Structure 1
């Protein structure tokens, strides 16, 4: 993906049983899990662990920066000191990119709330976005005299958790989270730990985001993505299903259906771009989905392809499987005409000064593309800004004769309110051309779009081709940004607000412009 789109976090959890040879090593396991989830968030990272042998039963270390920066990889003595302070057998971890809230340490997760009673002292983190954030916030402020410090959905979730735990006697944690799941509208994979050592991992009933678990010897590992478990050597990886909860209570692990999953809508972008290419989401390979997207894209090709004039150049890194498969299907060479600077990070996730970062992200291989007709394969076009810059770069610096854009994802015509930072219509490229997602795009419209991007032609993936590639039926995928079919009530309300904002020329995130119906 060449546009700066943000997905907001990765979640991890660990439980080491009593008597294990890995006693006290929860932070070590969590650190490695978070390293493998770094692509899901590069703004901040954090870990909370439980240890009944220390005065602070819950200990949290969190800060801004990459996982290696937060946990002092470059300073072994400092890192050892941090790990010693976090020593414990149960813990949770988080990497973050913000879809709302300030980019400061106060918004880093896990978020800990202390209390004298152990079941009321807890820490939690989550992956997703609460679409009815403002509806939840309103009664807290107006009726319960709450002061909201950070004005984001994580803080609101903390308050609702606290209210569920305010009883005089210790509640059933499954009932607590069942009640919360019924109140929240949106995407929310939650990891929770309290000062009794109880661990809870919940996947929302819609199932927007992935969550999996498995064992490394006798250690329970939980992660947003399967690649983090596979890199431990875990082979029997299981997937927490929509509405399921994993609970560790007094050392016993149980997995149960917490709330019914009446409708499932897995985010298609996890396969298209966000998830690590080595991951599986509910058993479906990300790599294979991307290669099939390339094969489907090749079926749509209309140019008179030949090996003398044409060369395929995938945009690194996430478009490479699709680009290679597209090239193979057409009998064309796939070349690294764009080399990514590995030290520039994933531009989409870093947040600020988009144009400056793009300039440093790629190097053009002039000897590969000079005088060629370049078939530029990308996984998606969101805003179009960096796509336009790359086309210009290939032509002006690489001396490409022509550049034809091929996109493995259908046009993005609507905002996302479930954890991807593209919440307004006006920021998106495709809606400017009045595309009807239920109909094929006319060639005249595609020609106008290509011209706007400085390209010689443009072809998009189709929605049926996307579903075939992922190998899930369309009705079990969230494609709201492609077809405006939002899987929750609040998503539809926010889309109505986004349409009004676009008509009135309002900018900024939809849920920031409509505080009565917004989310963070």
Structure 2
């Protein structure tokens, strides 16, 4: 993705179902669980690079012995930093008390994170703060084991303020905008109430039903309780992804299916999807159940997971990204007037590569059809040289753009910084025939368009193409996200900028004021959640008109090439990703009322000149 956006976090959960001596005997190490947790987190490192954390709970500890531990880091290599801290403690034991290493029970007593319950988290700083205090897991400690709670997750809640009021908790300056803090306090509130009346252990299902019925957002969250109970839960719309795997040795959950498959070397059908509104509840004795916590609603699994966020080594995601590219081939052929001889195709590194292969397959299908038609039209008059030329025709592809080292500049002046930004990418010289070739490059999506305008377009123009066509495998991003992706400011979206420009050009700026006035009225009546007012800004224009204006915005000026922008259609997106129909950032159709409130608030912030998040 040319415009890097911060997005969903990653979650990893492991419950060891056997004694540590079992793992030492079967797998040759007492650290089987920790090793697997590390792998599970590393295989999801794409989901969060601003921080990491691990929590562990030990079963059956002696009274007074700590049983819940946590370590977090916001270092540049956070996963490595977290596990180096765990490793340091292990190495100290091995160095100074080597006799202990022969006895798994003693190892458990001496090493903090040698617990039967393990939870890991990878964080992107969606609140804009890379602060270790905001890294998951969050923990609520208590002298009563049943009231100890550690939680982590991949989510955003849009009603955190209401939850803090409900629990009568003042979260403090650091955590006042933290939705995990709000979730933790709410779950802990009901956990304590349950503990007050419990007779035969905690009813985890009842606790979750009470707490999660209050949450507005998309979530995949996990919790460890001091009793040894644990849970993993998914929102009722299935917005955030959640997968689990169970065998006799372990119970595992994670944000991505492929991470579990790779870590435990299991087949696709062995890793199951946790269904919307359901929870994986693990009891202290190692038994588990899948329970319906909230009545499932219309499935709105995040389509961005398939377009970009999840790793593409999942076979279904790979096929879907290929389909996204293939679906664009007809539109691209029309844009180049079917002139494949004078067109070069490439992609913007690196995550658009799979969609590029799909686009290429669609183009090859067209070219092969043309080859067959031409050869058949010759009848018996076949010239070997002419036939050879036709058979050997290929789609022209080259790796045009190369992402260079991460550029940093000590210069704060805007013009100088913009000049430095141009060099984030580099080009392959000699690939384009100046003034003759059209250059088509595919990107995952176009959010702000800043990197395209300030870097990529200028860079590609140095090759001298007649025309540059930017193809997005995603539709136009028009609205904020409030369920896990850090896209919350209307002014950041180049599609919104294009709509504003069109309204101004056509003398229809009054529509903005009318929309703003309606938002203020909804706010006054406490019904800001009732409708998405911002749809009114776009409704006068076709997607093609918006795309044409975006092309003008992305033209930095002073270049020789004509610029065109092509987007995926909503219909083609749904065709390629039929099980992930969450498309609110494209359509404005939010799955929860809080989404409408967020988009309207973001619009009001824009109109009032406030550079603030919409939630």
Structure 2 partner of 1:469: 576
Question: How far has the Cα of 1:101 moved from its partner?
Answer: 5.9
Q: Deviations over 1:401-422 (max 9, x none)?
A: 4311111111011111111111
- Does 2:132 match 1:69? no
Distance 2:266 2:418 in 1: 40
- 2:57 pairs, out of 44, 50, 61, with 50
Question: How far has the Cα of 1:360 moved from its partner?
Answer: 6.2
More strand by proportion, 1 or 2?
1
Structure 1 partner of 2:135: 108
Distance 1:356 1:123 in 2: 46
- 2:613 pairs, out of 497, 509, 513, with 509
Structure 2 contact 432–464 (Cα < 8 Å) conserved: yes
Structure 1 partner of 2:554: 453
Provide the TM-score with structure 2 as the length reference: 0.75
Structure 2 partner of 1:93: 120
Structure 1 contact 73–79 (Cα < 8 Å) conserved: no
Unaligned runs of 5+ in 1: 346-353, 512-520
Distance 2:155 2:68 in 1: 24
Structure 1 contact 24–89 (Cα < 8 Å) conserved: no
Distance 1:468 1:79 in 2: 51
Structure 1 segment 192-203 matched on structure 2, within 5 A: 192-203=223-234
Structure 1 partner of 2:372: none
Please tell me the root mean square deviation across aligned C-alpha atoms, in Å. Answer: 2.8
Structure 1 contact 187–419 (Cα < 8 Å) conserved: yes
Distance 2:277 2:543 in 1: 41
Provide the TM-score with structure 1 as the length reference: 0.88
Q: Is the alpha carbon distance of 1:339 and 1:78 closer, same or farther for their aligned partners in structure 2, counting shifts above 3 Å?
A: farther
Structure 2 partner of 1:157: 183
SS of residue matched to 1:29: helix
Distance 1:355 1:224 in 2: 37
Question: How far has the Cα of 1:358 moved from its partner?
Answer: 5.9
- Does 2:262 match 1:231? yes
Q: Is the alpha carbon distance of 1:320 and 1:118 closer, same or farther for their aligned partners in structure 2, counting shifts above 3 Å?
A: same
Structure 2 partner of 1:273: 308
SS of residue matched to 1:262: coil
Distance 1:410 1:463 in 2: 6
Structure 1 partner of 2:601: 497
Structure 1 contact 227–278 (Cα < 8 Å) conserved: yes
Structure 1 partner of 2:523: none
Structure 2 partner of 1:124: 151
Question: How far has the Cα of 1:231 moved from its partner?
Answer: 0.9
SS of residue matched to 1:234: coil
More helix by proportion, 1 or 2?
2
Q: Deviations over 1:83-136 (max 9, x none)?
A: 943112211110000211631111111111111111101111011100111222
Question: Which of 1 and 2 has higher RCO (CA within 8 Å, sep 6+)?
Answer: 1
SS of residue matched to 1:95: strand
Question: How far has the Cα of 1:397 moved from its partner?
Answer: 4.3
Distance 1:334 1:150 in 2: 50
Distance 1:64 1:356 in 2: 30
Structure 1 contact 294–325 (Cα < 8 Å) conserved: yes
Q: Is the alpha carbon distance of 1:420 and 1:80 closer, same or farther for their aligned partners in structure 2, counting shifts above 3 Å?
A: farther
- 2:280 pairs, out of 239, 246, 257, with 246
Structure 2 contact 216–592 (Cα < 8 Å) conserved: yes
- 2:583 pairs, out of 457, 460, 479, with 479
Structure 1 partner of 2:362: 329
Question: How far has the Cα of 1:169 moved from its partner?
Answer: 3.8
Q: Deviations over 1:131-185 (max 9, x none)?
A: 11122233445xx666564211111112112211223244411111111111000
- 2:479 pairs, out of 395, 414, 421, with 414
Distance 1:445 1:385 in 2: 17
